[in-house]
Structure 1
Amino acid sequence: MIFAGKLAVWCFLLGSSSTLFYAVLYVLYGHEIPAVPSYYNYVLLCGHYLTMNLLIRVLLRGFNYQVAVRACMLGTIFACGMFTAAFAPPTYTIFGCYVCVLSFFHFSEFVAISACNPETLAISSFVLDHSTDYKIAAVTSWVEFFIESYFWPDMKTVRIIPAIGLIWCIGGEILRKVAMLTASRSFTHTVVSKKFEHHVLVTNGIYSVFRHPSYVGWFYWAIGTQLVLANPLCIIAYALASWKFFNDRITIEELTLLNFFQEDYVDYQKQVPIGIPFIKGYVLEE
């Protein structure tokens, strides 16, 4: 892993270390800590975040600064999620789990690229600015969660569905990162139109099970986030939207791969499924 990846790890941990404030409070006061954090606790959290950012600003410049400030932000968001999951009222604890899952995903995307294909590493590797549709989908899920929490709070306290969602998220996260590391330098966040010397057709490991394991992992991770939030409407919407996105993406990517690897990829298509239900990819006409 190159320096930028290591820097991201340290800054993520630095940001998430704000939970130490609450750990100390819990040790000192135990169950006397209020379920909803007081204004003073928020001041501590904000103070920690601002202090860390000031330190980063003083020590780093350029690309390293951009990496550090984003990783620290994601670490702080992860810490907020942990605190919410641990101390918020029962209706909102699952939102804390969701925040942890979301922030860790974006952090781990950058770190995984820094490990498997550092030549393509960029600020965009955090995937924080994926697309307008991605942002709209996220905000929509938050709106649904808080509306349902207000009018039907009991539906957010049933733990079986969020537990299943958390398993999906963890499984999808692991599958995607294993795929990225297995593909190594052949993995990129964008579909490339030019074949480079280091591009090889990866068919070993997890790629012997799924043709597009990184997409399979992301597909189930996305749906899992809505299971974690117990959002019935967004579970359906995310499943449909994610299916369409990956169907289009895989079709384009497989056309490129067929151009790159020709008959080798045709044989690979025949032997290994994609992994997402009802997506066939780009199939050459006989």
Structure 2
Amino acid sequence: MTVSNAHLSLTSFLLSGCLSLLAVVSLLIDEETVGLVREYTPVLILANYVLVNLYYKLFYQGYHYQIAVRATFLGTVFSTGCLISVFASLSWMPLGLYMIIMAIFHFSEFLVTALVNARTLSLDSFLLNHSKEYGIAALASWIEFFLERWLLPEMKELWLFLLVGVVFCTAGEVLRKAAMMTAKTNFNHIVQSVREDGHQLVTHGVYGLCRHPSYVGWFIWSIGTQLVLLNPLCLLAYTMASWKFFQTRVLIEEVSLLNFFGDQYYEYQQKVPTGLPFIKGYM
């Protein structure tokens, strides 16, 4: 079942993301082909999305179909982001890169969970419906981007900041997924209040660098998304909101970990920092 869920999600993502290959290939052909791709991009995206969904609707039902639908959606977002980045004007490139980054993050959350901790796998593992606050924050960032691009399009061409944002997102993504793969079955998207059988304290790998590498990765990634979009207002808001969220989250989680592991976790606390700026945790 683990391989089935992982394979299904990956296949769905790749099938719906195949338009990005068309964009790259067209650049190697001629200008006329590039023009056709630009003209018919919305039609190509919609047709590809509908056909892939129809295929999975015919061959899958229930839970597996729901996996395929979400992975197909994310693959379409990824493909659309690639096309925007390649063919749209320079001031639209931040949006294209942002879509690529978001699609990879949410898809990889599910895929990595399916591979290393299938016991906790659910549709929520995509984190598409993480929380109402998460949705509001995303919506705010989109509104800021479109307003600023409309009023001051040159703001969206500050490539040094965009590059820094890509580095932030990449580093945060790598750190978070490294944490998930290191912890394996000890990782959970939900803070646990009861210690389950087999739950062990992980202190090696990236956990030797900081106590909460998955949170540190997400914190860096979230800031990076607003650098990519070149959103100064949301950059400040995301930094403050993310810091406040993780301050509370770390306190709650470390109370549970101290209850689970006692002196073993206390000694770990003394040796390794949380990794989050100005957050000491429950000491």
- The TM-score normalised by the length of structure 2 is 0.96
Structure 1 unmatched runs, 5+ = none
Q: How does 1:1-286 map to 2 (within 5 A)?
A: 2-30=3-31, 33-34=34-35, 37-38=38-39, 40-283=40-283
Separation in structure 2 between the aligned mates of residue 3 and residue 41 of structure 1, nearest angstrom: 32
Q: CA deviation at 1:95?
A: 0.7
Separation in structure 2 between the aligned mates of residue 215 and residue 83 of structure 1, nearest angstrom: 31
SS across alignment from 1:250: helix
SS across alignment from 2:38: coil
Is the 8 Å Cα contact of residues 35 and 87 (structure 1) preserved in structure 2?
no
Q: CA deviation at 1:35?
A: 10
Structure 2 unmatched runs, 5+ = none
SS across alignment from 1:193: coil
Is the 8 Å Cα contact of residues 175 and 217 (structure 1) preserved in structure 2?
yes
* 1:58-91 per-position Cα deviation (integer Å, ceiling 9, x unaligned): 0111111111111011001100000101111111
Residues 205 and 133 (structure 1 numbering): CA distance in 2 closer, same or farther, change over 3 Å? same
Residues 20 and 206 (structure 1 numbering): CA distance in 2 closer, same or farther, change over 3 Å? closer
Aligned amino acid, residue 73 of structure 1? F
Separation in structure 2 between the aligned mates of residue 263 and residue 19 of structure 1, nearest angstrom: 52
Q: CA deviation at 1:282?
A: 1.1
Is the 8 Å Cα contact of residues 85 and 92 (structure 1) preserved in structure 2?
yes
Residues 189 and 165 (structure 1 numbering): CA distance in 2 closer, same or farther, change over 3 Å? same
Percentage identity across paired residues of the two chains: 45
Residues 35 and 172 (structure 1 numbering): CA distance in 2 closer, same or farther, change over 3 Å? farther
Aligned amino acid, residue 257 of structure 1? L
Q: What is the Cα-based RMSD across aligned positions, in Å?
A: 1.5
Q: CA deviation at 1:25?
A: 4.1
SS across alignment from 1:33: helix
Aligned length: 282
Separation in structure 2 between the aligned mates of residue 10 and residue 36 of structure 1, nearest angstrom: 24
Aligned amino acid, residue 194 of structure 1? V
Q: CA deviation at 1:32?
A: 6.6
Residues 90 and 218 (structure 1 numbering): CA distance in 2 closer, same or farther, change over 3 Å? same
Q: CA deviation at 1:247?
A: 0.6
- The TM-score normalised by the length of structure 1 is 0.95
